[in-house]
Amino acid sequence: MNRVIYFLICIIPLTISCSRKDAAPDNTKQVYEWLHGKYKAISSFSSEAVDVNMDGVATDNILTEIPDLTHCRLEIRIVSQNNFLFAESWPEQFIGHGIEPPGYDPSLAVNYVRQGLVRTFSLDNTSNKILVNPDTTPLPDTRRFSFPLAVTVEGSDTIKVVISKKLYTSAGWKVVTITTVYERYTMIT
């Protein structure tokens, strides 16, 4: 009988201390409603005026300079608790026959291929920042797969992504900071 009482005295505190009340709250449903879905670019501006479309007019409006950007997407997937995915596709420049010229060459054609990468992220709820996790494996080309400098939730259905990008322009190669604002158009992924 003493053993049973001793056993209960030891086990009851353990079961009480391991109750679900002590676990971190699961806010996955709220995050899903807040962020999950597909987003389209509604504005995109560079830190300096560039002529990417080779029309002779430099502007900081990247949606004008790279029209295919309107077809690229940002996708946020809230899969489960602490399993959040950030996928951004971007129109990548391919010049000529694969060898990048050192400067502008008007005889070379510029083509675009939509490429993207999926990364995981966490949230900083105090400042509405999306904290994209660093890549765990080496990327084939870090210039093409730019890691976001900053990602913030700007408001209802709106996310701002800031990246640094090397662009081929009529003035040669330029490295610019690009700020793109995306708006959610569906929650279906």
pLDDT at 3: 52
Task: Let me know: does 43 contact 180? Beta carbons within 8 Å.
Answer: yes
pLDDT at 126: 80
pLDDT at 150: 97
pLDDT at 6: 47
Angle formed at CA 148 by CA 146 and CA 150, multiple of 5 degrees: 160
> SS3 for 15?
helix
pLDDT at 35: 96
- Digit-by-digit pLDDT tens for the chain (189 residues) are 555 444 445 455 545 555 445 555 788 999 999 999 999 999 999 999 999 999 999 999 999 999 999 999 999 999 999 899 999 999 999 997 777 899 999 999 899 999 999 999 999 978 799 999 998 888 878 778 889 999 999 988 999 999 999 999 999 999 999 999 999 999 999
Residue 117 corresponds to which tokens in the numbers above? 């990468």
Domain 28-186 of CATH type 2.30.40: no
Rg of the chain over CA atoms, in angstroms? Answer: 24
Kind and range of the H or E element at 3? helix 2-17
Q: What is the residue extent of each domain of the chain?
A: 28-186
pLDDT at 99: 79
